Chains A and B, each alone.
Chain A
Amino acid sequence: MRGHLLSGLAALVAGIVGLVGATPAWAHGFGARYDLPIPLWLYLLGAGGAVAVSFVIVALMARRTPGLHGYARLDLRRWALGRALTHAATLNAVRLIAVAVFLLIIVAGLFGTQSPTRNFAPTMVWVIWWVGLAFVCALVGNLWALVNPWRILFAWAEAGYRAATGGHELAGRLAYPRGLGMVPAIILFLVFAWLELVWRGGEVPRSLACAIIAYSAVTWAGMAAFGREIWLRHGEAFDIAFGLLARFAPTEVRVTNTALCETCGSGACGHGAHGAQEHRDCVDCYDCASRAAPDARQFNLRPWTVGLLSHAPVPWTMLVFILLMLATVSFDGIKETPAWTGLMDGIFGTQALAPLLFGLHDLTGNVMATLQTLALVVLPTVFLIVYMLFAWMMAAAAGPSDAEPVSAGQVARLFVLSLIPIALAYHLAHYISFLLLAGQLIIPLVSDPFGFGWDLFGTADYRLDIAVVNARMVWYTAVAAIVVGHMVAVYLAHIAAMRVYADTRRALRGQIPVLALMVGYTTLSLWILSQPIVKSSAG
């Protein structure tokens, strides 16, 4: 069973490596950003605000633990509009569109013009999907769970196979090794982060389409071997990434018939799946939701962030996945700061390193990419080490107790979800103007997805409006988002602490290191925003 997985991964890596050599450098870089750095006074105000807010929250809520015993919910299926939105016909129509867009990306990438900005694929993938959908998932709800083309197409294939063979199952003949956890997703996300941040082929339509095909092959192989839902929960990096962001969102899918969970294809639902512990309902399990009877199914409005309240320590591999996500989001910003290019120039300018750099060049062909790849591995490792250090400090600060020994490992796995709002806020702050500017590219592209000079909807001649974003508004939105994200993170950590430690005093002591960590992380995010974006001269 591991053979399948490994051969799939090997094929993916080989495919990508094969493409890199053939990647031409494009004269007009895709995804240019024109944001102004936030001014110093706003940076200081934001950082100071974050510190102040931290202490106010903890002081105000020292003895209170809201959200511990369930939360207010409103079933949107109560109204005709809610029922229409969640009707099978609507969902199937959305799925059909999602699959059509997925196929269009691949076909446009393979056969369309190879200019990054005149082909549908790069803008759709990097701007609308990766940035835009992340916003939707975090702020509205887990749309990816519905439109994930790998899930949809595989489910269709399963249904077809069942019909053709008289009820035989297509997938899931192998038992997924429990100990593996989310390791496949971690590896795939790391590969993806490299494609996004280091690889220049990401903006070349054909290379991008090939990478998508390779990822599809790995995903479907994983689904076929272990079962669709099992792979989605352990190996489909985006289902996990968007799912984590969607825990922040104010909507949830809930199934009140928990007997269904016994036969859930994911094998993980009801046992540590988030939110499921409170009332023993099944929350945000899309396998159960799709099989539940209509009257056992709810589409609820809920308070923001409650999905991030951790009831039990998350698995170790999920902790690593979350920190990997946070580190790559930060790295995306860091590698465009003058400090980073200064560091790179310093490395390139150091005589003592010259033989090493020449050696690297002979070995890999691109020293800059090699150094960035290295950074992409080093930075998550640093994040992990720093985080574990703080978890250890928290456990130590709270002090030992015979009644409830809480180890640093448990602390780490309990608090990691509370870091997500900071990452989310930074993501929002960093990408809002990019989404508004580069996102406009999709307007002409829907009329001419292949760059063949078509004009299907009369929008092909649309030109980017660079004045669409008000710089001052973007600054205020960005800093407000970061301070609010920080506030939410502190609040979540406080509730987690109150949950872990029965003794209030220990809970408060234990929170001091986590507060320090969060202030540091928020300040790093703000600092990146205060830096002018520069293009690497050595690129």
Chain B
Amino acid sequence: MNRDRRAFLAAGAAVALLGASAARADTKIIDVVIEARKVVGDDVARVTQGDAVTLRWSTDEAVSVHLHGYDLKLSIAPDVPTEMTFEAFAAGRFPVTSHGFGGHDHDDEEVVLLYLEVHPR
């Protein structure tokens, strides 16, 4: 009986914890628009650690983007919105750089398009 009660309490606590952490993790969808090789508007995207993040990219020129740290890469074609989805498990300030605008693969110059700030809880 005693053992059952303890198991019950433990299970309850686990459910509560899971529920709490699930409730705290938000889903963040952020639209990022590239025009004339620059991001329109604020060049910092802010999310909270643990969030499920979707960066929805659209561009007026073919480009590859690279989210450093998380090391995610994505090729975007003009006028085809493309999504980059990940869980923001690590806090920090991560640059997103562009590579090869207009389909030039040998474009070495690394330009920061956007900073992703993942703030700690």
Residues of A within 8 A of B (CB): 24-29, 32, 34-37, 466-467, 469-472, 532-535, 537
Chain A positions within 8 Å of B44 at CB level: 532
Q: Cα distance A32–B110 when bound, in Å?
A: 13
**Chain A to chain B contacts (Cβ below 8 Å), 9 pairs:** A25-B109, A27-B99, A27-B108, A28-B110, A34-B94, A36-B91, A36-B93, A36-B119, A533-B93
Chain A positions within 8 Å of B95 at CB level: 32, 535
Q: Cα distance A533–B115 when bound, in Å?
A: 10
- Taking CB atoms and an 8 Å cut-off, the chain B residues in 100-117 that contact chain A are 108-112, 115, 117
Contact B93 A470 (CB under 8 A): no
Query: Considering only CB atoms, which chain B residue lies closest to A467 in the complex?
Result: B90
Chain B positions within 8 Å of A36 at CB level: 91-93, 117-120
Q: Total contacts A to B, CB within 8 angstroms?
A: 57
Is B81's beta carbon under 8 Å from chain A? Answer: no
Is B69's beta carbon under 8 Å from chain A? Answer: yes
Contact B119 A471 (CB under 8 A): yes
- Taking CB atoms and an 8 Å cut-off, the chain B residues in 64-115 that contact chain A are 68-70, 89-95, 99, 108-112, 115
Q: Interface residues of B, CB < 8 Å — how many? A: 23
Chain B positions within 8 Å of A25 at CB level: 108-110
CB distance from B92 to the nearest CB of A (A): 4
CB distance from B63 to the nearest CB of A (A): 14
Contact B90 A35 (CB under 8 A): no
Query: Considering only CB atoms, which chain A residue lies closest to B91 in the complex?
Result: A471
Q: Cα distance A533–B94 when bound, in Å?
A: 10
CB distance from A310 to the nearest CB of B (A): 40
Chain B positions within 8 Å of A34 at CB level: 68-69, 90, 92-94
Contact B120 A470 (CB under 8 A): yes
CB distance from A263 to the nearest CB of B (A): 54
CB distance from B44 to the nearest CB of A (A): 8
Query: Considering only CB atoms, which chain B residue lies closest to A37 in the complex?
Result: B93
Chain B positions within 8 Å of A32 at CB level: 68-69, 95
Q: Cα distance A535–B114 when bound, in Å?
A: 11
CB distance from A380 to the nearest CB of B (A): 29
Chain A positions within 8 Å of B109 at CB level: 25
Chain A positions within 8 Å of B68 at CB level: 32, 34
Contact A466 B69 (CB under 8 A): yes
Chain A positions within 8 Å of B99 at CB level: 27
Q: Cα distance A532–B108 when bound, in Å?
A: 25
Chain A positions within 8 Å of B108 at CB level: 24-27
Q: Cα distance A25–B111 when bound, in Å?
A: 12
CB distance from B88 to the nearest CB of A (A): 10
Q: Cα distance A32–B109 when bound, in Å?
A: 16
CB distance from B114 to the nearest CB of A (A): 12
CB distance from A461 to the nearest CB of B (A): 14
Query: Considering only CB atoms, which chain B residue lies closest to A34 in the complex?
Result: B92
- Taking CB atoms and an 8 Å cut-off, the chain B residues in 19-75 that contact chain A are 44, 49, 68-70
CB distance from B91 to the nearest CB of A (A): 4
Q: Which of B90, B110, B112, B119 contacts A534 (CB 8 A)?
A: B112
Q: Cα distance A127–B12 when bound, in Å?
A: 47
Query: Considering only CB atoms, which chain B residue lies closest to A24 in the complex?
Result: B108
Q: Which of A28, A470, A533, A535 contacts B91 (CB 8 A)?
A: A470
CB distance from A272 to the nearest CB of B (A): 46
Q: Cα distance A36–B118 when bound, in Å?
A: 8
Chain B positions within 8 Å of A466 at CB level: 69-70, 90, 92
Q: Cα distance A34–B44 when bound, in Å?
A: 14
Chain B positions within 8 Å of A28 at CB level: 110
CB distance from A344 to the nearest CB of B (A): 14
Contact (A472, B120) CB under 8 Å given A34-B92, A533-B93: yes
Contact (A27, B115) CB under 8 Å given A32-B69, A35-B92, A471-B120: no
Contact A535 B112 (CB under 8 A): yes
Chain A positions within 8 Å of B110 at CB level: 25, 27-29
CB distance from A215 to the nearest CB of B (A): 29
Contact A537 B93 (CB under 8 A): no
Contact (A467, B89) CB under 8 Å given A29-B110, A34-B69: yes
CB distance from A196 to the nearest CB of B (A): 20
Chain A positions within 8 Å of B89 at CB level: 467
Contact A532 B120 (CB under 8 A): no
Chain B positions within 8 Å of A37 at CB level: 93
Q: Cα distance A218–B32 when bound, in Å?
A: 52
Contact A471 B112 (CB under 8 A): no
Q: Cα distance A532–B45 when bound, in Å?
A: 13
Query: Considering only CB atoms, which chain A residue lies closest to B70 in the complex?
Result: A466
Q: Max chain B CB contacts within 10 Å: which of A28, A36, A469?
A: A36
Query: Considering only CB atoms, which chain A residue lies closest to B95 in the complex?
Result: A535
Contact B120 A35 (CB under 8 A): no
Chain B positions within 8 Å of A535 at CB level: 95, 112
Q: Cα distance A471–B112 when bound, in Å?
A: 22
Contact A537 B69 (CB under 8 A): no
Chain A positions within 8 Å of B119 at CB level: 36, 471
Q: Cα distance A438–B108 when bound, in Å?
A: 22
CB distance from A204 to the nearest CB of B (A): 13
Chain A positions within 8 Å of B70 at CB level: 466
Chain A positions within 8 Å of B120 at CB level: 36, 470-472
Chain B positions within 8 Å of A29 at CB level: 110
Contact B115 A532 (CB under 8 A): yes
Q: Cα distance A469–B110 when bound, in Å?
A: 26
Chain A positions within 8 Å of B92 at CB level: 34-36, 466, 469, 471
Chain A positions within 8 Å of B49 at CB level: 471
Contact A532 B93 (CB under 8 A): yes
Q: Cα distance A111–B115 when bound, in Å?
A: 36
